[in-house]
Amino acid sequence: MVEVVFGASARGSLRVAQHYGEGPWHRSAFGVVVGSTDGRPVSKRELREAKRRAEERSRREWEEAVPMGGNAGDIYCLDLALSMGDISEETPGPLRQQALEALIRASWNAEEAQKQTQKEWEETRAALDDVVTRSAAGETVRVWYSQQSDEFCGACFLLERLQSAGSAGPISLVELPQWEERPDGVMVHRLGWGEVSPGEWGRLVTAARTPSPAQRRFFANCWRELRRKNAPLRAVVNGQLMGVPVNFYDGFIGQEIAAAEREFHQGKLIGRVLGYQLGIGDAWVALRMEEMLRRGLLEAVTQAPPDRPVYHRILRRTEAFDRLYAGERHQ
């Protein structure tokens, strides 16, 4: 069985899930984040109780887990960030590599971005070639995707690629449910497979389905249409994957900047934007804020340390921003 995911976090979680729950549970080291709503210090008793509950959840998840089985070498990560940038190439090539580097460059310095992009690019291209080859040999390809735009784009792209390559192997699709009730009665909302813990994959795989020929064509044709339009960005709107303008998410970013102090920490503000659960990552938010800097809407007050992401710095909102987003500041 060939397993395909579209992000490094999902790949790591699935690798652990293959043998998660085998044998007895053992207590291991883990961290607990505890806070109070009224700003008072957390007591030692409250901290002990939080640790106890976390440990109990860990034990219960291990004991209830269904090990996936399989080998780590069968898991392939096609982390191409296809919801962003130019997708006009029939096969991901220089334009896709440039788009990936632009995203990484928004977070890291140019030299580090180039090295990281090259490494990830070579790994992803090799993974794609392996998936196509193994599918052509008749192996089943199981695709883990969701309504998160990169994962949805990845599934459409892969099915189109396999169809174009004439791969005849079976395909299995596992779509992540957006909402799910945990055994303890808590409703959980997940954006993508990177948010799924190792103990949950074995249960969620029961949703796997074999797409009909018509469904396979639908995914493939969806990707061809997206490529034809080649919008600067792709998003899932009311359940439909479509091309959208490059500034599609700017309103959320502008709203948070308008609500912040005039000088603010860029990394913390990016975290607040991600809290909207838009299905985008920190790199895209950072990239759009770089555009705001270029337009004079923001200005840098400090620079990030060399060993930290670029957005570990202080920015200042300018009067040009205030004029443009005047309405946001009075809401």
Check whether 254 has a pLDDT greater than 80: yes
Query: 6-23, pLDDT tens digit by residue?
Result: 999 999 999 999 999 999
Mean pLDDT calculated for residue range 127-132: 97
pLDDT band at 36 (very low <50, low <70, confident <90, very high): low
Helix (H) or strand (E) holding 254: helix 250-259
Q: Outline where DSSP puts E strands in the chain.
A: 2-5, 75-77, 141-145, 171-175, 179-181, 187-189, 233-237, 240-244, 263-265, 298-300, 314-317
Q: Which of 114-123, 137-146, 255-264 has the lowest mean pLDDT?
A: 114-123
Residue 168: its pLDDT value, please? 73
Residue 278 CA to its chain's centroid (Å): 10
Of 187-191, 259-263, 323-327, the least confident: 323-327
Q: By the 8 A CB rule, do 144 and 4 touch?
A: yes
The first and second tokens of residue 24, run together, are 């007895």
Pairwise CA distance, residues 29 & 319, whole Å: 49
Q: Is the pLDDT of residue 40 over 90?
A: no
Residues 69-115 pLDDT 10s: 999 999 999 999 999 999 999 999 999 999 999 988 888 777 777 88
How many C-beta atoms lie closer than 10 Å to residue 179's C-beta?
Answer: 8
- Helices 282-294/266-274 angle, 10° precision: 130
Q: Are 20 and 199 in contact (CB under 8 A)?
A: yes
Fold observed for domain 250-330:
Arc Repressor Mutant, subunit A (1.10.10)
pLDDT of residue 287: 95
With a cut of 80, say whether residue 182 has pLDDT above it.
no
Predicted pLDDT of residue 108: 79
Higher pLDDT, 31 or 126: 126
With a cut of 60, say whether residue 329 has pLDDT above it.
Answer: no
What percent of the chain is predicted at pLDDT more than 70? 95
Give yes or no for a contact between 4 and 76, defined as CB atoms under 8 angstroms apart: yes
pLDDT band at residue 255 using 50, 70 and 90 as cut-offs? very high
What integer is the mean pLDDT of 123-127? 96
At 134, list the tokens: 């193994």
What percent of the chain is modeled with pLDDT above 90?
73
Give yes or no for residue 314 having a pLDDT over 90. yes
Contact status, residue 116 vs residue 100, Cβ threshold 8 Å? no
Choose the weakest-confidence range: 108-117, 132-141, 224-233, 254-263.
Answer: 108-117
Delimit the CATH 1.10.10 region(s) of the chain. Answer: 250-330
Question: Over the stretch 269-305, which tens digit does the pLDDT of each residue have?
Answer: 999 999 999 999 999 999 999 999 999 999 999 999 9
- Please provide the DSSP assignment of 174-217 as one string: EEPPSEEE-TTS-EEE-SSGGG--GGGHHHHGGG-B---HHHHH
Sign of the alpha-carbon torsion through 247, 277, 119, 69: negative
Q: Would you give the DSSP letter of residue 261?
A: -
Q: How confident is the prediction for the chain on average, in pLDDT?
A: 92
- What pLDDT is stored for residue 330 in this prediction? 47
Q: How many CB atoms lie within 10 A of CB 75?
A: 23
**23-32, 41-50, 60-69: least confident range:** 23-32
CA gap 162, 151 in Å, rounded: 16
